[in-house]
Chains A and B, each alone.
Chain A
Amino acid sequence: MAVNSMTRPGPGRSRPGRGGLARRALDSEQFNGWAFVTPGVAVILLFGAVPIVWSAVMSFQKSSLGSSTPFVGLVNYRTLVHDPVVSQAIQHTLIYTALFVPGTMVVGLFLAVAMNRKIRFISVYRTAAYATMAISAISEAIVFIWLFDPSYGVVNFFFSKVGLPQQQFLNSPSEALYVIVAMTIWGWTGFAVVVYLAALQGVPRSLLEAAAIDGAGPWRTFRRVTLPLLSPATLFLAVWLTINALQLFDEVYLSTQGGPLNATTVLVYYLYEQAFEQFNFGYASAIAYFLFLIIIVVTALQFWLSRRYTFYRS
């Protein structure tokens, strides 16, 4: 950036505002504001803002790689409404989200409460939970495909040990989605634990002691004091995990490719197929906007629902 040399006054120069007109202009908030902002904003406009408008336009076009792009009105959206795979994908996405989000939050809250004390080996326990944060979705999926392998997998071995029948897991249309729920809950445990532990450490001891003096047992104190004080963290996790769940892709791409029999086709996976395997850019853009709509609606709903249950210490 040329800004560097222009704005930095050399040694011995006069104070700002006393120089010539050009110097004053170069030192102005007007000029520096734009100069500082331009590189970062340019990137975001080019790769964020412009594409948002562009894909909105594309969703009204019959557009594919390298071909001309005639406007077709609402055709893409009409196709979307009648596409059986889309309604399946919505169903799978919502089932996945409805299981993954509460599942991760319950596991995270439970472990965070258990780990929020000074007992021996506590740093070992915490590190074990944090470790799941270090593993990428791809690495995680590969390990879990192996754990849940129908023929040689260790999970089926444990099942046989406790007398449960052998399962097909990722090869079974009725089970595959639940295996993906399990692997992603494991993968997000560390994140949920970190968020809840941080929030738990913000709960003032004085309040817990006051509750105990008032005769509340640990469970009541937890329900009536701790849980309400955790509600901002709970809302954050609910929103954050939901947004991520609605965008599930990596694990599906790696483990099932949407199968078997479309049983794990979620919205983003279908969108990817349409965009980068079929190159139906127009139709894929319509799906993307539809996904965006779902995310907005679900997030708004969460915020609306949380008004009653979220408690902020001002």
Chain B
Amino acid sequence: MSATSAPARDELRPAPDDGLPAPRRRLRLPFSPWHLVLIPATVVLLFPFYWLIVTSLETEPDALHFPPILIPHVLRFANYADALASAPFVRFFVNSAIVTATTVLCNLVLCSLAGYAFARFRFLGRGALFAVLMATLMVPFQVTMIPQFIVVKWLGVHLLAGVGIDHLGALILPNAATAFGIFFMRQFFRTLPLEYEESARVDGAGRLTVLVRIVLPLATAPLATLAALTFLDSWNDFLWPLIAITSPDKMTLQLGLATFQGAHATEWSLLMAGNVMSLAPMLVVFFVAQRFFVRSVAATGLSGT
């Protein structure tokens, strides 16, 4: 790595503060040399975003101009209206919002309940049940997706249409709780001291009351992490919606955008306008809650430490 070798010159460090002029003065930049690395890196990281937005505002002939026009002189905002007219992006957004919000909520409730029981209660079959959950944690989605498709199809036909194929419920129910979420909450609950719960019990509180009133208020950090991770997973999911949803009015943003791309593969400015609209809500959420997302992702990484 070339950039890290630059400060390695510090090895030739002159004796500090001895009053004598250093034998060879190092070149002093008026700014940290790391800027020389970070500025190009940032340009590379942000250029795709820039190009996405620029193309979405160009006229079709300008977009197809070669060499490309890096700074457009005419901005065509009508691309967005055109994209909205050719695909129901608002519908996609609403569907994604419904699916994601419900999935996050279900996970918070179900994983807290189950995680708490696994952490605190002794009951028949606890060990075996927990072992089964941990086993499913390792298995990739591709192994379960075909039977999951059959189960969802069956449920839709025989039990409840709302959770069947081509319904939003099909995107929520299979992800309403995850083995990871239960494991994650259990690990947290086990670190809590028992005293609070015991004293609440002595005061006559029921077990659910203890969980809701005493334990969960202490668990806001892991709950927030679980919410952030579930949110990202659910919002960005593509393979399962691709399998489970066929009609446009039930599509999520990812699936709708992919379908839109299939239909307008060469209309670049229209496509990018659709892409910006699909991306914008997530970018906004991400920037508003940046600390919170970053901390959540970091927490998964540090779990190995």
| Cβ B64 vs Cβ A152 within 8 A | yes
| Cβ B272 vs Cβ A146 within 8 A | yes
| Cβ B139 vs Cβ A52 within 8 A | yes
Known interface pairs A33-B117, A49-B135, A219-B8; A291-B140 also in contact (CB < 8 Å): yes
A108–B118 Cα gap in the complex (Å)? Answer: 36
| Cβ B275 vs Cβ A114 within 8 A | no
Tell yes or no: B187 within 8 A of A by CB: no
| Cβ A133 vs Cβ B286 within 8 A | yes
Tell yes or no: A172 within 8 A of B by CB: no
Known interface pairs A134-B282, A217-B8; A43-B176 also in contact (CB < 8 Å): yes
A49–B175 Cα gap in the complex (Å)? Answer: 13
Minimum CB–CB distance for A50 against chain B, Å:
7
| Cβ B294 vs Cβ A146 within 8 A | no
Q: Which of B1-47 contact A (CB under 8 A)?
A: 1, 3-5, 7-8, 10-11, 31-32, 34-35, 37-38, 41-42, 45-46
Q: Which of B105-134 contact A (CB under 8 A)?
A: 110-111, 113-114, 116-118, 120-124, 126, 129, 132-133
Q: Smallest CB-CB separation from A246: which chain B residue?
A: B140
| Cβ A130 vs Cβ B286 within 8 A | yes
Contacts of B179 in A (CB 8 A): 44, 48
| Cβ B110 vs Cβ A128 within 8 A | no
A202–B303 Cα gap in the complex (Å)? Answer: 13
A32–B209 Cα gap in the complex (Å)? Answer: 12
A52–B139 Cα gap in the complex (Å)? Answer: 8
A295–B141 Cα gap in the complex (Å)? Answer: 12
Tell yes or no: B293 within 8 A of A by CB: yes
| Cβ A40 vs Cβ B206 within 8 A | no
Known interface pairs A13-B204, A27-B207, A47-B148; A194-B294 also in contact (CB < 8 Å): yes
| Cβ B35 vs Cβ A55 within 8 A | no
Please tell me the size bucket of the interface on A.
35 or more
Minimum CB–CB distance for A209 against chain B, Å:
14
Minimum CB–CB distance for A91 against chain B, Å:
18
* 12 contacting pairs across A/B (C-beta < 8 A): A14-B204, A30-B121, A37-B113, A41-B129, A44-B182, A114-B38, A114-B41, A127-B290, A136-B254, A146-B271, A202-B302, A218-B4
**20 additional contacts (CB under 8 A) given A114-B37, A127-B290, A152-B63:** A4-B208, A14-B204, A29-B123, A33-B122, A33-B126, A41-B177, A46-B174, A58-B146, A117-B32, A120-B31, A136-B238, A136-B279, A137-B236, A152-B65, A195-B300, A202-B302, A222-B4, A247-B140, A247-B141, A247-B142
Chain A contacts to B: CB under 8 angstroms: 3-4, 7-9, 13-16, 27, 29-37, 39-41, 43-52, 54-55, 58, 106, 110-111, 113-115, 117, 119-121, 124-125, 127-140, 142-144, 146-147, 149, 151-154, 157, 160, 186, 189, 191, 194-195, 197-199, 202, 217-220, 222, 232-233, 235-237, 243, 246-247, 249-250, 253-254, 268, 271-272, 275-276, 281, 284-285, 288-289, 291-292, 295-296, 312
